Amino acid sequence: MAVTATSEPLRAARWLALLTPAALLGGAYISQYGFGLHPCEMCWWQRYPHFVALLLALLAFVLPPRTPVMLAALAIAVSGLIGGFHAGVEYGWWHGVTACTASPVAGGGNALDAILNAPLIRCDVAPWSLFGVSLAGWNFLFSLAAALAILILAARRSAR
Measured CA to CA, the distance from residue 143 to residue 75 in angstroms comes to 9
Q: Bridge-partner residues for 133, per DSSP? A: 130
Single-letter amino acid, residue 144 = L
Handedness of CA 143, 50, 75, 132 (dihedral sign): negative
Give residue 111's pLDDT: 64
List the beta bridge partners of residue 134: 129
Percent of the chain with pLDDT over 90: 38
94 three-class SS? coil
16 vs 155, which has greater pLDDT? Answer: 16
> 28 or 64: whose pLDDT is higher?
28
pLDDT of residue 24: 93
The one-character DSSP state at 99 is G
Mean pLDDT of 67-95: 89
Answer with the residue of higher pLDDT: 2 or 32: 32
**Residue 108 burial (CB count, 10 A):** 7
What's the pLDDT at 100? 66
How far from 73 is each of 5, 40, 42, 50, CA to CA, in Å?
A: 21, 24, 20, 10
Using the predicted structure, report yes or no on whether residue 139 has a pLDDT greater than 70.
yes
pLDDT for residue 142: 94
- Mean pLDDT lowest for which of 10-14, 48-52, 154-158? 154-158
Is the pLDDT at 160 greater than 80? The verdict is: no
Q: What is the DSSP string of 139-150?
A: HHHHHHHHHHHH
**112-130: per-residue pLDDT in tens?**
666 566 557 766 777 766 7
Q: What average pLDDT score do residues 52-56 get?
A: 94
